[in-house]
Amino acid sequence: MCRKLLALCLVLAACEGSPSGPSADATDVPWGDGSIEVGPSDVAPDAAGEESPDVSIEVPADAPGEADDVAEDAPAETPGDVAADAPVPPSPGFAAPTGLAASADWVVVANSEFDGATMSYGPGSVTVVRRSDFAPVARIPTSKKNPAAVAIAGGRAFVLCAGETSWDAGTGLVTPASDAALDVFDLASIATATGPAASIAVPRDPSDPLVGYPTSLALSPDGKRAWAGSGTSAAIFEFDLEAGTVVHGADDAIMLGSPEVQDGITVKAAGPGRIIAGSFNRDVVFLIDLATPDKKEWVSVGRSEADMEGVIDLAFRAGGSPDLYVLFAISSAIGTVDTTTKLTDNDFATVGLYPNRIALAGDRLLVVNSGDNNLGAIDLASGAGAKAATFPEKTNPWDVAVDGDVAFVTGNGSNSLFRVDLAKNEVAGEAK
């Protein structure tokens, strides 16, 4: 599997050989007594010198390349004289796909274009797949490198481009090495687009070198706001999608800890006026009231108070009890939180090797087990697990999008997109 699950949540950062930096002790952050003011040093004390878990990785020898994606020697066509049996153009293809989202007509897939052989990223792109025949119809360049997450709302697809990172062997810190962006694509014209319809730049701030590299994305229920969690710090960025502007960027991010301490943040919308954030390095979940974003409630999660388990994804079920599911990348487990009563269950379910994403699907919770090459399904009532789909060896499934009885899963190692029939618990198609 082409990544390390170490001391921070960095989408594809481990493919760059990036160990974690200093982390804070998760036992220092219990539930607060009501809302509290969080300052830069209140949540993330610097625990420099702590050793990260030694987790080995496997870098695929067949890293994605670009050579097969373009027909360099395609014959020229004479206008008005195209043979009926002319060869079908090659598929736009995929290149180390990661995040995705589905609309009624399209599946929009982010291509990180990471090359494990050179440990570098290509320019970045999205592949557009037509749902009616499950055919890739376009591959569109993004404005920045490493598109990592996709969300769809109001006839538009929003693609979060994280940028690149670099690792300092002396300090052990992973820092953003390039600027990021939130690209916007109009679904009505996405099949013929040659680039984003708009792009919201997310420049780095030299005064806070860890703050940047946004890797997780959440939209408000009305589609007017977006939030992105940093993969290298305890920062959240906010966007006004109507105005096309950054509300909180690297220079004034919503901070969940010190900007000088390494962390990785995943974000989810939790109804109007609230977002939930998970800290990878500290095994902490934050509840953030957007009316007063400087005041936050938090809960410590995970089975172990001594070992970091790595919050890598969240799923929120409005009206449920519990209503929050927490995926731990290192301990391969799922915990739950009732955000009203503040009760937790850190033994809800055990999952497969290198779990990467979770998503609600009716009365089940789907789990992308990247190391086991399968899509797991957890019963919400009992926590019992089963398989919803099994993928070929070296698929490295990465992310999942659910629409009714259908799930779409990106194959980061197979350079493909899978369609899963959730009613039959089987793979129903693969797009290349």
Q: Is the pLDDT of residue 402 over 80?
A: yes
Task: Point out the least confidently predicted range of 7-21, 133-147, 188-202, 274-288.
Answer: 7-21
Q: What was the pLDDT predicted at 60?
A: 34
Q: What was the pLDDT predicted at 91?
A: 64
Q: Write the pLDDT tens digit of every residue in 95-119.
A: 999 999 999 999 999 999 999 999 9
Arithmetic mean of pLDDT over the chain: 84
Mean pLDDT of 296-317: 95
Decide: pTM greater than 0.85.
no
Say what percent of the chain tops pLDDT 90: 76
Q: Does domain 13-65+92-431 have CATH number 1.20.120.1200?
A: no
398: pLDDT confidence band, cut at 50, 70 and 90?
Answer: very high
**Tokens describing residue 244:** 């096309």
Say what percent of the chain tops pLDDT 70: 79
CA distance 157 to 151: 6
CA distance 328 to 297: 20
Q: Taking Cα atoms as reference points, which of 66, 157, 162 lies closest to residue 113?
A: 66
Q: Delimit the domains of the chain by residue range.
A: 13-65+92-431
15, amino acid identity: C
Q: Is the pLDDT of residue 336 over 60?
A: yes
163: pLDDT confidence band, cut at 50, 70 and 90?
Answer: very high
295, amino acid identity: K
Q: What was the pLDDT predicted at 55?
A: 33
DSSP 337-403: E-TTT--EEEEEEE--SSEEEEEEETTEEEEEETTTTEEEEEETTT--EEEEEE--TT--EEEEEEE
CA distance 73 to 93: 17
Mean pLDDT of 412-431: 98
195: pLDDT confidence band, cut at 50, 70 and 90?
Answer: very high
Q: Taking Cα atoms as reference points, which of 178, 148, 176 lies closest to residue 161?
A: 148
